[in-house]
């Protein structure tokens, strides 16, 4: 049990707290599900990119799936070996591509024909041979929130099967490209197995047809997306997930790469915020807290549900309240119509499932410093990121005052 009261008094609020032991358990369960096959779990760094968190997964043997060169650099700093680092994303700059090639990572995940040509040109300039994978868009509806759905043609991600085939042939004929993988990632917070299985089938068929024209790939990259329980969702069991994927790969000698993000970190994380006051506008009751959309954006951005636990002495009846932060936006809320008892100044609210897409989506809007981050491992709490100060916020401006 994490003692949030103690942590809040030591590190102040708003505060992110991560249970590293929970992350370990999630990692091991998923890794175990793929046993009997060569597999790499490449942690999706964007879910929670704190260096200590990335290092924690690296220590467990994880690779890293990165969507910017900044994330690639984090993965290196965290000690993840180059041969387990993947660079994905729809828009990579020339500088990013160049650095990824020079760092000799496992592969660059290419998301368009134009990008493949850029990678080819840059690899040629560097007199290098760049390992690539192509992100295929299987045009399957993942049945998740439209903002986190990526596997349909009207999403910006990946290329259709026909273009992918042309691209593999181009890459195979280039002296500077080495096609080693095929990739798909149809969305996030997936709770249904069928779209995953159907996508894997489409992509596995593609793998076989490439093999028929002597393009033999080594990596079958299934992306991430495994959903978690925020509320009452029924989730996919890692074992069933792995079986569904592996069932499409019979008789193929291939390494499976999985890029979990949310599954590993979401329910390991808590966002702790303090009650400032309550207020009433007409019929509406508000609880104003010191945490806001600049700390945890998911409720504002996706109308996402997070379970919220009150740490209070209050024994009053629960009533429906909106939990709102100090930021000057009506969209600044952590929850709406949420049942909580009457709260006192300095009571704590613990927002659950905040370990993925929490801190990382934070900003300095309203000149608010980002929260501190604390990791708990074997019952020991340690600061893994200092709270941002006002000085930090103006550091890049103050010498440029006009
Ligand atoms: C975001 C992302 C992931 C991780 O997604 P989760 O839903 O957090 O598991 C994996 N792969 C790619 C390419 C991504 O963009």
Do you know the residue count of the chain?
Answer: 402
Q: How far is the CA of 323 from the centre of ligand 1 (A)?
A: 29
Q: Where in the chain do CATH 3.20.20.10 domains reside? A: 20-262
Atom of ligand 1 nearest to the CA of 356: 8
User: How many Å lie between the centroid of ligand 1 and the Cα of residue 258?
Assistant: 9
Q: Ligand 1 centre and the CA of 215: distance in Å? A: 26
What pLDDT digit, counting tens, does each position of 69-126 carry? 999 999 999 999 999 999 999 999 999 999 999 999 999 999 999 999 999 999 999 9
- What pLDDT does 204 receive? 96
With H, G, I as helix, E, B as strand and everything else as coil, classify residue 319: strand
Which of 199, 225, 238 is the best mutation target for the ligand 1 pocket, counting ligand atoms within 8 Å of the beta carbon and taking the most? 225
Residue 66 bears catalytic tag: no
d(CA 290, CA 277): 10
Please tell me what DSSP assigns to residue 159: B
Band of pLDDT at residue 153, cut at 50, 70 and 90: low
Report the predicted TM-score, pTM, of the whole model to 2 decimal places: 0.96
Distance 78 CA to ligand 1 centre (A): 19
Q: Give the number of other CB atoms < 10 A from CB of residue 317.
A: 8
Q: Pocket of ligand 1, candidates 30, 45, 46, 148: which has the most ligand atoms within 8 Å of its Cβ, to mutate?
A: 46
| Cα first-last separation, the chain | 51
For 20-262, CATH number? 3.20.20.10
Is residue 129 classed exposed, middle or buried when 0-12, 13-18 and 19+ CB atoms within 10 A define those classes?
middle
pLDDT in tens, 301-341: 999 999 999 999 988 889 999 999 999 998 999 999 999 99
Q: Is the pLDDT of residue 147 over 70?
A: no
- With CA atoms as reference, report the closest residue to 277 among 311, 325, 336, 335: 325
4-15+267-391 falls under which CATH superfamily?
Lyase, Ornithine Decarboxylase; Chain A, domain 1 (2.40.37.10)
Q: Tell me the percentage of the chain whose pLDDT exceeds 90.
A: 90
State the pLDDT confidence band at 157, using cuts at 50, 70 and 90. Answer: confident
What pLDDT score does 251 carry? Answer: 85
Ligand 1 pocket list (CB less than 6 A): 44, 46-47, 65, 67, 88, 185, 188, 223-226, 259-263, 356
SS3 (DSSP) at 231: coil
Atom of ligand 1 nearest to the CA of 190: 7
pLDDT tens column, 218-243: 999 999 999 999 999 999 999 999 99
* Candidate list 66, 130, 258, 328, residue with the active-site label: 328
Q: What is the DSSP letter of 82?
A: G
One DSSP character per residue, 219-272 reads EEE----B---SSS-----HHHHHHHHHTT-TT---EEEE--SHHHHGGGEEEE
Nearest CA, atom 12, ligand 1 = 223
Query: What would the two tokens of residue 232 be?
Result: 């009452």
pLDDT tens for each residue of 338-367? 999 999 999 999 999 999 999 999 999 999
Distance 339 CA to ligand 1 centre (A): 32
Cα(42) to ligand 1 centroid in Å equals: 10
**Domain limits, CATH 2.40.37.10, in the chain:** 4-15+267-391
pLDDT of 149 reads 66
Atom of ligand 1 nearest to the CA of 223: 11
For residue 263, the ligand 1 atom closest to its alpha carbon is: 9
Task: Fill in the DSSP letter of residue 219.
Answer: E
């Amino acid at each position: 049990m994490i003692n949030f009261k103690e942590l809040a008094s030591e590190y102040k609020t708003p505060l992110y707290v991560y249970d590293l032991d929970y992350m370990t358990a999630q990692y091991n369960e998923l890794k175990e599900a793929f046993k009997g096959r060569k597999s790499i779990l490449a942690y999706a760094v964007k879910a929670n990119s704190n260096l200590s968190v990335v290092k924690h997964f690296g220590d467990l043997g994880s690779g890293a799936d990165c969507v910017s060169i900044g994330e690639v650099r984090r993965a290196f700093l965290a000690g993840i070996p180059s041969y387990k680092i993947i660079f994905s994303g729809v828009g990579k700059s020339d500088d990013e591509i160049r650095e990824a090639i020079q760092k000799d990572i496992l592969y660059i995940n290419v998301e368009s024909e134009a990008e493949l040509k850029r990678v080819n040109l840059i690899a040629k300039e560097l007199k290098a041979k760049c390992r690539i994978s192509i992100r295929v868009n299987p045009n399957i509806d993942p049945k998740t929130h439209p903002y986190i759905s990526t596997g349909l043609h009207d999403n910006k991600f990946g290329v259709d099967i026909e273009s992918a085939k042309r691209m593999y042939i181009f890459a195979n004929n280039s002296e500077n490209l080495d096609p080693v993988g095929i990739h798909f990632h149809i969305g996030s917070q997936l709770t249904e197995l069928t779209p995953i299985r159907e996508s894997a089938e489409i992509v596995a068929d593609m793998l076989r047809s490439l093999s028929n024209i002597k393009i033999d790939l080594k990596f079958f990259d299934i992306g991430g997306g495994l959903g978690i329980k925020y509320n009452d969702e029924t989730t996919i069991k890692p074992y069933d997930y792995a079986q569904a994927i592996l069932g499409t790969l019979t008789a193929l000698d291939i390494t499976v790469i999985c890029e979990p993000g949310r599954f590993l970190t979401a329910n390991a994380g808590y966002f702790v915020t303090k009650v400032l006051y309550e207020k009433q506008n007409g019929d509406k009751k508000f609880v104003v807290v010191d945490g806001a959309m600049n700390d945890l954006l998911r409720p504002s951005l996706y109308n996402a549900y997070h379970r919220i636990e009150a740490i209070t002495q209050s024994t009053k009846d629960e009533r429906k309240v909106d939990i709102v932060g100090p930021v000057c936006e009506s969209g600044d809320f952590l929850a709406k119509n949420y049942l909580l008892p009457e709260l006192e100044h300095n009571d704590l609210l613990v927002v659950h499932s905040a370990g993925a897409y929490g801190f990382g989506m934070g900003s300095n809007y309203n000149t608010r410093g980002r929260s501190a981050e604390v990791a708990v491992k074997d019952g020991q709490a340690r600061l893994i990121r200092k709270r941002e100060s006002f000085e930090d916020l103006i550091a890049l401006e103050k010498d440029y005052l006009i």
